[in-house]
Amino acid sequence: MKLTALALITLGIFSMNTAHAQSAAKGKTLYSRCISCHGDNGEGKKSMNAPRIAGQYDWYIYSSLVQFKTGERKNPDMLPFIKGLNDSDFKDLAAYISTL
């Protein structure tokens, strides 16, 4: 019984990691929208008042993107870049950015 539970947990973790990797790959493509302000590696650009996003947790990036889109968090510069993106895109972007 314990062995079966351990095997199921291990498979679940592997599946989550695989899904996260696939999501990050999609996010890398979407990240091309972000490079002009946040830089190739998420280092940010002080001259544009664009913060460093590299090293942030995926949940934080995702939450921030949702808040920008809903208007809960204000930044008019972000709106043109996220306007056409959906929740799945936000998750993919967050997965990728969290790897930077």
3-state DSSP helix/strand/coil % of the chain, to nearest 5: 65, 0, 30
> Would you state the pLDDT for residue 13?
39
Superfamily of domain 2-97: Cytochrome c-like domain (1.10.760.10)
Full pLDDT tens readout for the chain, 100 residues:
555 444 434 444 344 455 667 788 999 999 999 999 999 999 999 999 999 999 999 999 999 999 999 999 999 999 999 989 999 999 999 999 999 9
User: What's the pTM value of the predicted model, to 2 decimals?
Assistant: 0.78
The structural domains of the chain, with segments of one domain joined by +, span 2-97
The pLDDT, as a whole number, for residue 41 is 97
The whole-angstrom separation of Cα 20 and Cα 85 is: 18
Query: Which pLDDT belongs to residue 22?
Result: 79
Residue 72, Cβ density class (10 Å: 0-12 exposed, 13-18 middle, ≥19 buried): exposed
